[in-house]
Amino acid sequence: MKLARALELGGNDYIHRPIDRNELVARIRTQIRRKRYDDGLRNSVQRTIQLAVSDPLTGLHNRRFLETHMARAVAAAEDTGVGFALLMADIDHFKRINDNWGHDVGDRVLKEFATRLSQCLRSSDLACRFGGEEFAILMIEADASTAGAIAERIRQCVCEKPFVVEGEAIMVTVSEGLAVFEPGRDDNLSLLKRADAALYAAKRGGRNRVEVQVAA
């Protein structure tokens, strides 16, 4: 009865007295193997979850992660009345980098860009690789002034120092589009559309610049 109760409470094994040394060693080895298997299975699940929300090249979050957290940010902003900002950033003339130096170098540039981007953000900001050479930054509780300052810091961090890859110094610039969420006037889609429109305005305006589009 006690043995059944012990197993119900979470016990993995049991041994009778008097204890046989060889049996005890065999059971301990079995429990160690089981523990290693369970740990490996748990780590595999965690890696799978991490891969589902991360970009394998840059180590940043991916678009799926952005969409999930932007929905939460929208709900929070609607409840509190405190907005947030979305910044879209696109590396200028990235195709030229791939064409002139190869895709391996292009990948190194993307990794370095992600590193510089992360260094410019607040701990509460969420940086994601949106796709290709385009990135998105979700800035929680950031107004236009705060978000604009971060965007400008990113721009300067990218363009003021060359990206050195395999001995090659490559000058890189980034165009950025910024939109601030307006509770009661915005939703996920309208915010993303405004940030995209601001990004394309930055491209049309000569690149290596930040453009802002306000809610209509």
**Strand residue runs (E) in the chain:** 85-91, 126-131, 134-139, 163-165, 168-170, 174-180, 210-212
Contacts of 119 (CB under 8 A, 6+ apart): 157
Residue pair 97/109 in contact by the 8 Å Cβ criterion: yes
Number of C-alpha atoms within 13 angstroms, CB side, residue 93? 13
Contacts of 167 (CB under 8 A, 6+ apart): none
Which residue, among 107, 67, 70, has the nearest Cα to 91 in the 3D structure?
Answer: 107
Distance, CA of 150 to chain centre: 17
Q: Look up residue 112 and give its two tokens.
A: 């370095």
Catalytic residues: 133
8 Å CB contact between 109 and 165: yes
